[in-house]
Amino acid sequence: MPETKRHRYKIIKWIAATIIIAFGLLSATAWFLNVKSRPLLTAQIKTLLYKSTDSLYTISFSNVSTNILTGSATLQNVKITADTIRFKELIRLKRAPNNLYTVTLKKLVVKHFHPFTLYRQKKLQIEEVIFDKPEVLMMNRQFDFNENRPPRPIKSPYSFIAKNLEEFRINAIRFQDASFKYINKNVNQLNVFAIDDLNITLSDLLVDSTSADDPTRFYLLKDVIINLNDYQYTTPNKLYNIKLNKLDFRASTGKLRINKFELEPRYDEMKFAQVAGHATERFHIQMSDILMNGIDLPVYISKQELRAKEMGIANGFISVFNNGSTKKAEGEIKKGRFPHQLLQKLAPPVLIQKIKLKDVNISYTIYNDESKQRGRISFEHTSGIFKNVTNLPKIKAINPKMEVSLNTYLLGQASLDLNFKFDLKSPKGYFEYKGILHNFNARILNQITKPLGLVRINRGIVDKLQFDFKADNTGAKGKVDFYYYDLSVALMRNDPAKDHLVTRGLISILANALIINSENPNRHNQFISSDVSYKKPDSSSFFSLIWRSLYTGIKNSIGITEEKQNEIKQHIANFREMRANHEIRKRNRLKRRMQREKQRKLNERR
């Protein structure tokens, strides 16, 4: 081998040997530091959690493994628990938090904890902590001494760690695929809420000499991010599934977005009430593009109150079905079931200052057992604003009114402006509703009047339908002004032999001739305004109250009053009596004719 090549070969061998030795020394050093760092890291973790939580929480784990080169550690079989004795002491000292947590998981991963910074600068800086599939139990008990406290620790955790650390920082704490269970300890009855597959990121946790007073932080954090891809929950009565698709929340902006929410019935329309065991309305609700702004996360965490400045809902539907053939439960009373009354019964405290509704379709369908038909009224492309949606006693004391303004299209054609005022404090469920239904062809109402009122509108043009009602659990009183012209109707009856509704010819003729006002105002410019006093049956619903009170006013306006109906019944009775007398006279004439003919034949034989 030439001298030059031999020399190069020796240099390469020397470099290789040096690298191997250096790597070996580095590996040995890393192993030594790993071994030595584990007790220190274990002690730091346990001491840090214990001291920074005012001696409330402790952490236990079966094993810890570290990698000094990557600055990572893994804890196995982790459990974070609260000391109940210390909690009672903190209650006595009025320093206890409203929430108590228990966290268990198989593996906790700490990434990039910068050990040299810890040793040299007394700063424990961690890039990321991952809780992999943790089970989180949260118990909420509200204390008066925590009322209106700012979202920061009562006592800065820095005072507990100052002797050992100048700074403790975690850039991101991630709860991946968490199972979350919440227990409300503020009520006598056990109230448990559970949810799985939740992802939570706590961003930039900082404990130092100033972080506790930083107004841009809450509970020492810069942000909280919550994600939920898909969630399904079956209601306790087993009648519905609640579904959520893609929920995203960011605390720093107070914005929550939900792609889709659905209240899905588990049974079809005709079977639903049978499964429920009594007559009940079947709801199917689906909403898309739900956005909430101005959510107060600290209030929700401490008091479980959902407070938001604004909520937007776009694109969805509310479908209600009432099976009139189902027997009502014995003694069934649907009092306390109006929307604002149900809001007061809602378990979580809620305040949403404003809800904006856009392009939502609402329909109410009744199956009429008499006609064997379905009557459907729909309000399409509904948009509007809800104000002061709340069940909080303090808010109701200041402003007890929930106001709703809506614009919609009746049966997709007639423009309707609606306004509601709900009294949130009324024990009787008092509310007011008024509106204006603008110009439309009256025949579109046949979808309602034929199956539910057994009345077919042959023709008619509506200029305006204006109404103003005051209502509560007992019924509704108000006024209906119905402007229309060229109205003609046909009264119907069910014909089982033909399996459909048929016209009651004579009665229809008499109704149009004697009862129906074909126009309002009439040719003499006289206008009939209908004063309505509708008594609500105990078993009827909110939708039924609205529909029936309006329908009563419409019938009175066109002349189908109780007096007029009695009048037409008398005319029909008189007509039937005349027809019966006519038949008797006809039979008598025939009898006399037959007798004369018989006598004539006898005379001829003689």
Q: What is the rounded distance in angstroms from the CA atom of residue 596 to the CA atom of residue 29?
A: 141
Q: What is the rounded distance in angstroms from the CA atom of residue 419 to the CA atom of residue 402?
A: 11
Has residue 257 got a pLDDT over 90? yes
Q: Give the pLDDT confidence score for residue 469 in this predicted structure.
A: 97
Two tokens, residue 85 = 């004795």
**Poorest-pLDDT segment among 179-188, 227-236, 452-461:** 452-461
C-alpha distances in Å from residue 437, one per residue of 197, 455, 562: 47, 20, 25
Calculate mean pLDDT across residues 114-129: 80
**Tens of pLDDT along 126-163?**
899 999 999 999 988 888 888 888 877 777 888 877 88
DSSP code of residue 39: H
Q: Give the pLDDT confidence score for residue 481 in this predicted structure.
A: 95
Q: Please list the alpha-helical segments (H only) found in 104-177.
A: 115-121, 158-161
Q: Give the pLDDT confidence score for residue 595 in this predicted structure.
A: 80
Has residue 389 got a pLDDT over 70? yes
Q: What is the rounded distance in angstroms from the CA atom of residue 381 to the CA atom of residue 383?
A: 6
Q: What is the rounded distance in angstroms from the CA atom of residue 115 to the CA atom of residue 305?
A: 41
pTM of the predicted model, to two decimals?
Answer: 0.76
Helix (H, G, I), strand (E, B) or coil at 413: coil
Q: What is the rounded distance in angstroms from the CA atom of residue 461 to the CA atom of residue 464?
A: 9
Nearest C-alpha neighbor of 407 from the set 415, 396, 399:
415
Q: Could you identify the residue written with the tokens 């588990």?
A: 266
Nearest C-alpha neighbor of 286 from the set 323, 230, 321, 243:
243
Q: Give the pLDDT confidence score for residue 421 in this predicted structure.
A: 97
Strands 123-132 and 135-140: unpaired
Q: Give the pLDDT confidence score for residue 11 in this predicted structure.
A: 46
**Tens of pLDDT along 188-202?**
766 677 888 899 999
Q: Could you identify the residue written with the tokens 């700490």?
A: 110
Cβ contact 258:290 at 8 Å: yes
